Amino acid sequence: MGAAGLVLLALAPDVIVGGIGLLLASDVAFSVTRAVSVIWVNRRTPSEIRATIHSFLSQAETVGEVVGGLALVVTAQAAGLSAAFIASGAFIACVGALVAVLRVRSKTVDGRRVPRCRRPTENTAHSE
C-alpha cells in the first residue's frame, strides 16, 4: 500500500489525488508496518532482550532512512521529484517481494521453520 501511495503521489494530476497518495503512503501503510513489526518482535523475543532488540531495530531503521533519503535526494536532483517518488515506491515493492520470496524459500510458518517429513506425535510433542 505504501508503494502504491508513493507512485500515486508522484503521478497525481491534482492536489486531491496527491493527498490520497500521501495518506496511503504515510498514515496508513507505514503506521500499519510499524505496528506489525512491533507485534512480530514482541511475540518472538524473550522479555530479557526485547528492549535491546527494539532499540537495535530503531537504530537500523534510522540509518536506512538517512541513507535512503540521501539516495532519493540525488535521484530527485538528477531526474526530478516524481522520479524520486516512483523510485521509492518501486524500491518498497521490490523489498516486499524479496521478503515474500525469502519467506517461502525458508519454508517458515509464523517465523518458525517447518520440518519436511516429520510430524509431531503425541510422544514427541511433550518431550523435553
pLDDT digits (tens, 9 = 90+) for 41-96: 898 899 999 999 999 999 998 998 899 889 989 999 999 988 888 888 888 889 88
Q: How many CB atoms lie within 10 A of CB 6?
A: 26
- Per-residue confidence at 126, pLDDT binned at 50, 70, 90? low
Among residues 108, 69, 110, 113, which one has the least CA distance to residue 91? Answer: 69
How many domains, the chain?
Answer: 1
Position 127 in a domain? no
Range of the domain at 32: 2-112
Tell me the torsion sign for CA atoms 107, 57, 61, 34.
positive
pLDDT digits (tens, 9 = 90+) for 31-43: 777 788 889 889 8
Position 124 in a domain? no
